Structures are given as C-alpha cells and as structure tokens.
Amino acid sequence: MEEVAVRESGIMGREGWALGEESMIQEERWREIHRLSREERVPIAEIARRLDVDRKTVRRCLRQERWQAYERAARTDTLLAEHGDYLRERAPQVCYSAQVLFQELRRKGYRGGYDTVRRFVQPLRAAELLAERASVRFETGPGHQSQIDWGTARVEFRHGKVKIHLFVLTLGFSRRGFMAPFLDQRLPQFLDAHEQAFEHFGGHTREHLYDRPRTVCSPDGEGGVIWNPTFRSFAHYWGFEPRLCRAYRARTKGKVESGVKYVKRNFLVGRTFVDLDDVRDQWAEWNASISDVRIHGTTHQRPIDRFAEEREHLEPRGSRPGYRLEARFVRIVADDYLVSLDTNRYSVPFALIGQTVEVERRGADVRVYHRDRLVASHPELTGRYQIRVLPEHGPGAVARNVRHRTSTPAPRRKDDGSFVADVEARDLAAYDALLAVGGER
C-alpha cells in the first residue's frame, strides 16, 4: 500500500472556512475525542498529543454534546463570486499559491486585486493543512511493514563534538526499533544498516516504507521516480517490497519518525561516547533495558511482548550471506576504463568505456560482467582508494596518448569505381614503443 495514512471521511472542504485550530473539526475526529475521554479516560493533554491538536480544541469538542458541521453561505456580491468554483478546484494543483491564481484569473478577465484572491485562498490552505493533520494512523499486521528513516545529532566523543547520522528502522506492528550510527548516509552504510537490522530481528518484514532519499530513488521530472538500481537490486536480493511516502507527506511514516525522536530525546540525552562502536554498545544496553520493555503510548503494550507475535511472521534472514558480499553492483565504466567498489577501482577492457557493467565479489576476487559475460577479474584490494590496472585492458601507454580521429571519414571513390579509405599516418616510433610494451608482458 503506497499510502499508510488515510484521510477520514468528512474532511473539511469548501465549507470549512475558519483558520487553524479555530476550525470546526470533522465528525470522526470529534467522535474519537469523546471516545478517548469517556471510554478510556484519557486526559485532555494526552488526547491533544495523540491527535496532534490544541488542548483548547479538545476542551471545546468535549463541551459539544452533538457534532455540528460548520457551514458558511457563499457570497454572491464579490468580484470573485463567478470564479469561486475554479479557485477551489485549481488551488490544490498550484499548492494554494495566491500569486499564481491571481495571474491566471487576470487572464480570465478578473479585475479585482491580489489581496482579494489571497483572502479567498487562505482558508482553503488552512482547511488542507487541517485535513493533513487529521490523517489516522494506519496499523499494519505482524510482519507486514517496517518504516525506515535517518536522524542526525551532535554527540560528545572523546576528541570533541561529532555529527552522527542515525539509521532507524521500526517494525510497524510491534514498534520494536533498531538504530545504527554512521558518519554519513551513503549507500553502502544504508545497505549495511538494513542487514544489521535484519540480523537484530532475525528477519525482515514484507514491505519497507521510505521517504524519498537519493539512496532509494530520484525524481524523473514528470512526477514519478527512478529507482536507484543498486538499492532496487538489494530489495530484490532480500525479497522485500520498497514503498514510498507520497511526495511532501513524510508524516505517513510517523512510527519511525517517533522512533527517531525517542532515540534522540531519551537515549542520546546526557550521554558521552568514545566512538561509534561505543554508541552501538550503549544503544544495545539501553534498547534492551528501556526501549523494548517500556509501555508504548499507542499500543499500550511492551514492544518486546508484541514482537513475540510478530517474530513468527517475519521473512527469515537465515544464513544467507550479505548482499555486498555476493550480489552484483551496477556501474558505468569511466573514461579511464575503471570501475569502483568500496572506494577501490579496478580496470576493465577499454572498449567498455561508457558501458554499464556489473561488479561482484566472489571469494577473494572482484569480478566484472558485461551482459552476463565475465570481462575482468582482480584480487580484491584490502585497503581504500587503491587502483588495480591490468595492462591488457588498455590500448597501451603510447597509443592511449596519441591523438586520433573521433570518427572514420567516408571512403573516397576512385575513377574506376572502387573505394579507398583514408588511413591515419603515424610515426613508426609509436609502433616500436607498442611492440616494446607488448614484449614486457
């Protein structure tokens, strides 16, 4: 399911004109406030926190014995009267920009001022914002979905303040969480963090919900997305379906956002660390003694207890090797006919420059494939930022530096009707050098 937050029926449309918290809330939310107060005896402050509304709104709602829809008669004596329907339909499409709507109305013959349009659009925008806040939490069954997000924080290490990036994965049903700290959010760390989470839980859910980070996808310019090929391959390797929040609706992954806040406000506060390993060790102790055994504010159960039910529904990790040890990584061959893997670079035949290849580890070797055909094999480099080049992959040191034509000229027709091709003239010393290189192999 692409959307994990669904709007309640009865969302304020054109009849909801008051601003912000002063707006009349829809009937379903009114009933939920009364239910929480009367049946569950939830305090007003807690109701306001759960439903993300002001305490005054909760009190006003509880004073109403019956829900009444707010209505306002449409005025017919304004310059905008004849454009009202158009504005209500068009406003969401232009993100409630009064300036854009004003420009469009001028082309339609509107002679009023900009302020009139702005005042008309303001309650429309407010109603939409309130509707966004009135989304209900979508509960998923055990083993169905996880939510993933990053958080950042500055923490005290032995040598001073350091900014760290917190990968957080929250299981949708049990609310058990996993956290892994890194110094950046690059794709290798992103994939490693997933596998650490799979190891921690002993498996993974069938779906994973993401915001739209570049490590997952990028916009295609037409409202869609282009999946990161390596990430898509990773998801296929482990057998889960990646899902995306609707654009500009990151709130739909509220479970993990709450998890990120909880880690930052409860675990990190007041702590100092030696290094990243110490962060991981301290988190593991905190997670086992505090996070897993607390009473969760939404489920009213301990995450570790609900996980006992969810565990049976997870896709097992088993003894399968990690993706980065076995799977193939998509690469495009650079102009120096090198491809990268974990900061190190390896050569491939120079004829593949600009082509897409796949790189994999196999035992102690790095292998490169083009259209499923093995084109290069190297011992894996153990350091970082190293380069390994095989002489047979290049055109030769001299030939690589010789200026040659970028295209072959058309053959010339001779008087007898035959064709002759122009041949590039080259100093014989170049061939002597090439023979010398070949002899050294």
pLDDT in tens, 38-86: 888 889 998 888 887 888 888 988 888 776 655 454 454 567 778 888 8
Contact 347, 388 (CB under 8 A): yes
Are 208 and 232 contacting, i.e. CB atoms less than 8 angstroms apart?
no
Helix (H, G, I), strand (E, B) or coil at 218: strand
Q: Does the model's pTM come out above 0.85?
A: no
Phi, psi of 57 (to 5 degrees): -65, -40
Query: What number is the average pLDDT over the span 177-204?
Result: 93
**pLDDT at residue 239 greater than cutoff 60:** yes
Strands 373-379 and 365-370: antiparallel
Buried/exposed code over 71-104 (b: 16+ C-beta within 10 A; e: otherwise): eeeeeeeeebeebeeebeebbeeeebbbebbbeb
Q: What is the dihedral of CA 202, 206, 210, 216, to 10 degrees?
A: 90
213 pLDDT more than 70:
yes
Is 80 exceeded by the pLDDT of residue 435? no
Please give the pLDDT value at position 10: 30
pLDDT grade for 281, boundaries at 50, 70 and 90: very high
Nearest to 14 by CA among 76, 77, 91: 91
Look at residue 68 in the predicted model and tell me its pLDDT.
64
Torsion angle of the four alpha carbons 146, 212, 187, 313, in this order, in degrees rounded to the nearest 10: 10
Rounded to whole angstroms, how far apart are CA atoms 89 and 94?
10
In whole angstroms, what is the distance from residue 182 CA to residue 264 CA?
A: 14
Tell the residue number behind the tokens 């990646």, with chain if given: 242
Residue that has been written with the tokens 């570790």 in this structure: 304
Beta pairing partners, 376: 368
3-class secondary structure, 357: strand
List the one residue out of 129, 165, 131 whose CA is nearest residue 148. Answer: 165
pLDDT at 427: 52
Amino acid occupying residue 186: R
pLDDT at 140 over 60: yes
Read off the pLDDT of residues 199-211 as tens digits, 9 standing for 90 and up: 999 999 999 999 8
- Are the CB atoms for 354 and 377 separated by under 8 Å? no
Tens of pLDDT, residue by residue over 304-349, are 999 999 999 999 988 888 887 666 778 888 889 999 887 899 999 9
Q: Does domain 145-316 have CATH number 3.90.1310.10?
A: no
Determine the pLDDT at residue 18. 36
Q: Of 140, 139, 143, which Cα lies nearest the Cα of 307?
A: 143
Nearest residue to 186 (alpha-carbon basis) of 340, 302, 45, 349: 340
Is residue 233 within 8 A of residue 330, CB to CB? The reply is: yes
* Residues linked to residue 401 through DSSP beta bridges, in sequence order: none
Task: Retrieve residue 156's tokens.
Answer: 């005290």
Q: Supply the pLDDT for residue 338.
A: 94
The pLDDT tens digits for 17-27 are 333 333 444 66
Q: Which of these, 30, 118, 119, lies nearest to 70 by C-alpha position?
A: 30
Which residue, 21, 26, 11, is CA-closest to 53? 21
Q: What is the mean pLDDT of residues 409-418?
A: 50
* Residue 183: both structure tokens together: 């110094």
- What's the gap between Cα 256 and its chain centre? 13
CA distances in angstroms from 22 to 16, 57, 118, listed in the order given = 10, 7, 19
Average pLDDT rounded to a whole number, residues 157-166: 88
Instruction: Confirm if 298 and 140 have CB atoms less than 8 A apart.
Output: no
- Sign of the dihedral through C-alpha 91, 96, 101, 103: negative
Residue 186 pLDDT more than 60? Answer: yes
Phi-psi region of 16 (alpha: psi -120 to 50; beta: other; left: phi over 0): beta
pLDDT band at 412 (very low <50, low <70, confident <90, very high): low
Q: Are 108 and 63 in contact (CB under 8 A)?
A: no
Any idea which residue has 């565990």 for tokens? 311
Domain ranges of the chain: 5-137, 145-316, 328-394, 409-440
Q: How far apart are CA 122 and CA 82, in angstroms?
A: 18
Average pLDDT, the chain: 79
Q: Give me the residues paired with residue 152 across strands.
A: 165
At 10, list the tokens.
């009865």
